[in-house]
Structure 1
Amino acid sequence: MTQNERIFLPWWKRVVIVIATVIVFALQIMLFVFAFQVNFDFPFNVWIYWIIEGGSFVLVYHIIHRPILTNYKLTWSILILIFPLPFSLLYYLNQRSLALPKYKQKKIDTILGNYYNPNQIDCTLELDRKDPKAAKLARILRSSTGYPLWKNTKYTFLFDGLLKHEDMLVELKKATRYIFIECFIISDGKLLSELLPILKEKGDAGVEIKIIYDDLGSKATLKKKTILEIAQIKNCTFTNYNPLGLNINPAFNYRDHRKMVIIDGKTAYCGGDNLADEYIHQKKRFGFWRDNCGKYEGEAVQSFIALFIEMWYISTKMVLKLENYLCDYVLERETSYILPFGDGPSNGAEPGYDIFRSLISSADQTLYISTPYLIIDEAMIESIVLAAKSGVDVRILMPGIPDKKVAWYLGRFHYKDILLAGGKIYEYTPGFNHAKNIIVDGRYAFIGTINMDYRSLFLHYECGALILLDNEIYKMKDDFLKACDDSKPITYEDWKKRPWWQKLISYLLYLFAPLF
């Protein structure tokens, strides 16, 4: 997708932004005149006011000419013009381009500069002969991330968080070299009480253990006592990504939302589940917690190692050499292709957004989307609508019991166009749907940590994998359809009958959707 496609502004939005700008400009002039009349004995106050207002217009001019989503332009322009000081500061703190200093990015490029698949060209050409559409998807993702397409990888779809937890504990007990864990949330509870004894045993045996957790994500869930307990495990290095502090740093708004476990370079797990009890159904916060995960064995694990090494350097400034963590594990798999990738401020691109839109646009027969949130821009909504209008069986699975009601109301705002186009939307009545999947035609799929919201697509560090021509995609499809059977189908009539206050909240928040 080109930048021109991203900055295209629909006619009605152009009208709205012009009208809003004129109104706000008129209000600003009136306030200026009023301030001048009231404070004519204090010209210093007037000049301060004028400098602030003038600066806000310069900033808005800069925003309008940036190659960013139109929704961002509209939201930030209006907020900055109305409330210059607070929202100018918030805009500064929300800038992806400021999230990673150039020297750090250069260091990461140096660390991973030699990372590539020697058979990359042959692998892609081979896939091109089998399925040109699959090869095209791989090239799109490869071009924005640099991560290679792999064969010789066994992918296993783990349809439940408890299943993944039990499988992971078995694999952790086999570790002989190292264990890497990266997680948004680590929480005290039953899950951690089962995990820590294994880590202690492996640490005592000389296994290298490295753990990254997000400081904000785990702030309220991980006791200081537990942090000290983990830090005392032999051969274990335990660090928090981007700790919260009093300093004003643009990077504080960019969180590590990735969830990965890597064992000996042979096995990797990546999915929506954190290390917390709700994911193994020990805590009923929002009914049944639906989540899933991908397990990878073979060549593609190398990409997850590279992603972990990147975040380890960002978090600790310590360099890990990729070659020290690779293994000679050989697995012959000729029928499927896997492309793990990462997204985040250090990319300089939006690979998650790109591959989501590409998958949606590539659907010929079926398009199944599972997401906890549906706070996306009009370009992606239009891609879904066009797929439905073309006769594709479009189904979207949303939570029936939300964890964030405001985000849920905002997500429901987008139902209308999809439903009118013939798409089907289901709300998972047993509880909270936290799984993040896109399944296309039973042949191509995404599984990982990326939600369909602005923060996941444009702000946070995320990870996942593009799965191509793998038989496990049929299991993903069956699991999705089973979840739909357990859910409430939402009709256009249902959508229209929402309580008036929900409608009001949705309309009021729509303008501020990029902030969610």
Structure 2
Amino acid sequence: MFASMISMSDIRSVIMALYFVIIAAAVIVIVHDLRDPVKALSWILVITLLPVVGIVFYMVFGRNYRKEKIFNRKEIDDFEQIGRLCRVQLRELVDPDIQHIEPIEANKDIITLLLNNNRALLTVRNKVKILNDGKAKFEELFEAIEGAVSSVHLEYYIFENDETGRRLTDLLARKVKEGVEVRLIYDDVGSWNMKRRHARRLRAMGIRVCCFMPVVFPWLTSKLNNRNHRKIVVVDGKIGFTGGINVADRYVHGTKFGPWRDTHLRIEGDAVNMLQAIFMTDWYFVSGKELLNDEKYFPKSRIRTRSPMQIASSGPDSDWASIMQAFFAAINKARKSIYISTPYFLPNQAILTALKVAALSGVDVRIILPFRSDSKIVYWASRSYIGEMLDAGIKVYFFCKGFNHSKILIIDDNFCSVGSANMDIRSFEDNFEVSAIMYDPKVAEELTGYFLGDIGNSVAVTPESWENRPNLHAVYESLARLASPLL
């Protein structure tokens, strides 16, 4: 009996020793990652309280791949085509006609930032069409692909095998028969319903299909957390599409919440080269290093309309959180207005502080959030920021006419962004994103019109109504806020 008690005591001692060793090792790994202190402390708390589950979750969701780099973009930065585009950019930057374009002068610091942190070339000769819902986006997309004669490159986070997806793939298959090269990148987590047999069927049609970072056992792999959230289409190197709309029926027909409100762009001009370059980089990674640097993919544009923009990308493959830094810089230099529409609002401390400082300084800051969301925990976590924003004078609105999935930032009538990046930590740090940063007052004015129209379909959140919300809601928000650094 005594020996049995000694044995049990020894077992407990070994278990406790293993517990402390595991916790210490995990803390060392987290600290070595050199991540944000709030996020680091959050993960340390989770692992301390739930060592086994916490470590599994950290391996899946928590690794800092900006430091480790899933793949190194620099290995293809010296492609001849990229070098040629850089030389074109350098010539344009010293062009007197460009130097004195007022929006470029007003945003020269942000342009310089994106050149340094992302090598996002400034392009001036562009034409932009805003597509304000899924129906408009797919009408324009199908029309552009119908006219394709050389190549169609597509990259989507979600590509469903539903009515919309089948219409698109049938059109792509027909273009393949006409001799057009078609390449498709889909994300394995976002396109979870894209069965392997469907991908094989697309390949049998002649469509080159590659899956971004396949996940066989999602609960055992860190690949679940660093997803390709980009939405890019390039047709013949001449027409580009980017924004927030994926390939699925809900983007056209809506959901249980009602109509799906979203924003996409159709772009012609030199900026299409940059969308093509981003696709080329991603294709090089997913295809086993197939290099697409032929001149035919980068035809010279005949567009003469001036609409300055930079196509900014970010992700774990880059040294800097470039899109977040651009947003931060733009918010800090705002003098009149900041308009934001985002489905998920989980800002880091820098963005949150910048927004509150701007509002307290007299800038008109307005944010549209969905009244209902497709993610409960993100919904409650987003709402947890509303009280302090209202205290700072930020105007908050709940969009009620369906689900608002737009990712829009408009500042001072001469800076605007439309892309795939939400105003949240996951988009800023973990996912592969793309945004069109535009310095065109006409585009900003049109986007502002749509934004104000969305406010007309929204309910303003007042300090009084917020104070009188159910106490249980405040509890949900507080608990979700604790998890926000990990979402």
Question: How far 1:459 moved relative to its partner?
Answer: 0.7
1:137 equivalent in alignment to 2:106:
no
- The count of residues paired between Structure 1 and Structure 2 equals 476
> What does the per-residue CA deviation read over 1:20-69, in whole Å, with 9 as the maximum and x for residues that have no partner?
xxxxxxxxxxxxxxxxx976655465245324413423543553575432
Question: How far 1:102 moved relative to its partner?
Answer: 7.0
- Among 241, 245, 265, the residue aligned to 2:237: 265
Pick which of 454-463 and 184-193 moved more.
184-193
> In the alignment, residue 96 of structure 1 is paired with which amino acid?
N
1:510 equivalent in alignment to 2:481:
yes
Please name the residue that 1:24 is paired with.
none
Contact 1:53-1:84 within 8 A present in 2 as well: no
> In the alignment, residue 63 of structure 1 is paired with which amino acid?
I
> What does the per-residue CA deviation read over 1:413-449, in whole Å, with 9 as the maximum and x for residues that have no partner?
1011211111111111111110001000111011100
> What does the per-residue CA deviation read over 1:445-484, in whole Å, with 9 as the maximum and x for residues that have no partner?
1110001122211111111111012412211010000100
Question: How far 1:315 moved relative to its partner?
Answer: 1.7
What's the C-alpha RMSD, in Å, of the aligned pairs? 2.4
Pick which of 407-416 and 465-474 moved more.
465-474
Contact 2:229-2:433 within 8 A present in 1 as well: yes
Change (3 A) 1:43 1:223: closer
Q: Which segments of 5 or more consecutive residues in structure 1 lack a partner in the other structure?
A: 1-36
Please name the residue that 2:166 is paired with.
193
- Among 19, 29, 41, the residue aligned to 1:74: 41
Please name the residue that 1:436 is paired with.
407
How far apart are the structure 1 equivalents of 2:18 and 2:82?
45
Report SS of the residue matched to 2:290. Answer: coil
> In the alignment, residue 234 of structure 2 is paired with which amino acid?
I
How far apart are the structure 2 equivalents of 1:204 and 1:231?
13
Report SS of the residue matched to 1:151. Answer: strand
How far apart are the structure 2 equivalents of 1:97 and 1:141?
21
- Among 320, 327, 333, the residue aligned to 1:349: 320
Contact 2:113-2:326 within 8 A present in 1 as well: yes
Question: How far 1:92 moved relative to its partner?
Answer: 3.3
Question: How far 1:346 moved relative to its partner?
Answer: 0.6
How far apart are the structure 2 equivalents of 1:330 and 1:256?
31
Aligned pairs for 1:143-292 (under 5 A) are 143-220=116-193, 222=194, 226-234=198-206, 236-246=207-217, 248-280=220-252, 282-292=253-263
Report SS of the residue matched to 2:233. Answer: strand
Contact 2:123-2:270 within 8 A present in 1 as well: yes
Report SS of the residue matched to 1:275. Answer: coil
Please name the residue that 2:83 is paired with.
114
Pick which of 315-324 and 114-123 moved more.
114-123
> In the alignment, residue 343 of structure 1 is paired with which amino acid?
S
Question: How far 1:224 moved relative to its partner?
Answer: 5.5
Contact 2:372-2:379 within 8 A present in 1 as well: no
How far apart are the structure 1 equivalents of 2:335 and 2:227?
35
Contact 1:98-1:251 within 8 A present in 2 as well: no
Please name the residue that 1:92 is paired with.
59
1:53 equivalent in alignment to 2:20:
yes
Change (3 A) 1:122 1:106: closer
> In the alignment, residue 154 of structure 2 is paired with which amino acid?
I
Please name the residue that 1:301 is paired with.
272
How far apart are the structure 1 equivalents of 2:223 and 2:483?
21
Contact 1:363-1:392 within 8 A present in 2 as well: yes
Please name the residue that 2:424 is paired with.
453
How far apart are the structure 2 equivalents of 1:498 and 1:59?
40
Question: How far 1:100 moved relative to its partner?
Answer: 6.6
Pick which of 147-156 and 46-55 moved more.
46-55
Change (3 A) 1:136 1:122: farther
Change (3 A) 1:105 1:49: farther
Report SS of the residue matched to 2:189. Answer: coil
Contact 1:369-1:397 within 8 A present in 2 as well: yes
Report SS of the residue matched to 1:291. Answer: strand
How far apart are the structure 2 equivalents of 1:39 and 1:307?
64
How far apart are the structure 2 equivalents of 1:329 and 1:101?
34
Contact 1:278-1:285 within 8 A present in 2 as well: no
Report SS of the residue matched to 2:365. Answer: strand
Report SS of the residue matched to 1:397. Answer: strand
Report SS of the residue matched to 1:292. Answer: strand
> In the alignment, residue 97 of structure 1 is paired with which amino acid?
Y
Change (3 A) 1:189 1:65: closer
Report SS of the residue matched to 1:199. Answer: helix
> What does the per-residue CA deviation read over 1:163-207, in whole Å, with 9 as the maximum and x for residues that have no partner?
111011111111000000110111133322332332122110110
Contact 1:154-1:298 within 8 A present in 2 as well: yes
Contact 2:66-2:318 within 8 A present in 1 as well: no
Change (3 A) 1:42 1:261: same
TM-score, scaled to structure 1: 0.86
Change (3 A) 1:105 1:42: farther
How far apart are the structure 2 equivalents of 1:92 and 1:108?
28
How far apart are the structure 2 equivalents of 1:146 and 1:166?
32
How far apart are the structure 2 equivalents of 1:161 and 1:103?
33
> What does the per-residue CA deviation read over 1:292-340, in whole Å, with 9 as the maximum and x for residues that have no partner?
111111111111111111111222213223234111232223x431100
Contact 2:72-2:317 within 8 A present in 1 as well: no
Report SS of the residue matched to 1:239. Answer: strand
> In the alignment, residue 91 of structure 1 is paired with which amino acid?
Y
Q: Which one scores higher on RCO, CA 8 angstroms, separation ≥ 6?
A: 2
Report SS of the residue matched to 2:124. Answer: coil
Please name the residue that 1:331 is paired with.
303
How far apart are the structure 2 equivalents of 1:259 and 1:38?
62
Report SS of the residue matched to 2:183. Answer: strand
Question: How far 1:385 moved relative to its partner?
Answer: 0.7
> In the alignment, residue 184 of structure 1 is paired with which amino acid?
Y
